[in-house]
Structure 1
Amino acid sequence: MGSFSIWHWLIVLLIVVMVFGTKKLKNVGQDLGSAVKGFKDGMKGEDGGANQAAAPQQVTNATRQDSNTVDVDAKTKS
């Protein structure tokens, strides 16, 4: 019961296409490709995101005078 021949794989592929249809398989392929691309972009951008997260946020006069802004002092637990 070793490896399957090419005919076994072609029959399996034919059955999968008949069950799911070519349109659904195309959509699955596109979704998988975009997920892999997004993962690669996320791995590349990981170093740049760490540098941006470490930078302190700047408060402008417009945000200081905004009525929705609440000014609080952050304290650490001891």
Structure 2
Amino acid sequence: MSTKVSCPTCQTEVVWNAQSEYRPFCSKRCQLIDLGEWSMENHKITSPLQQDYQLSELDKQKLIEEAEAMLAQNQDSFFKD
């Protein structure tokens, strides 16, 4: 028995198997339409904001120092081909 799903773009029924090249989409066209929707930010995955999460000044300084150390470590190779 084959699993069938609806194409997220046009709702056409699609058989979910290895031969379905564009699954869960029915075609390359529907796949590209969906990609365009994501790129235009019409589709989003959101999560609740964590309003009570705040870094202390010490934590902020530590993160800045770590970032600066990483940049200094990679600075010589960053601009080379």
Q: Is TM more than 0.5 here?
A: no
Structure showing the higher strand proportion among its residues: 2
Larger radius of gyration: 1
Identify the structure with bigger relative contact order (alpha carbons < 8 Å, sequence gap 6+). Answer: 2
Structure showing the higher helix proportion among its residues: 1
TM-score, length basis structure 2: 0.29
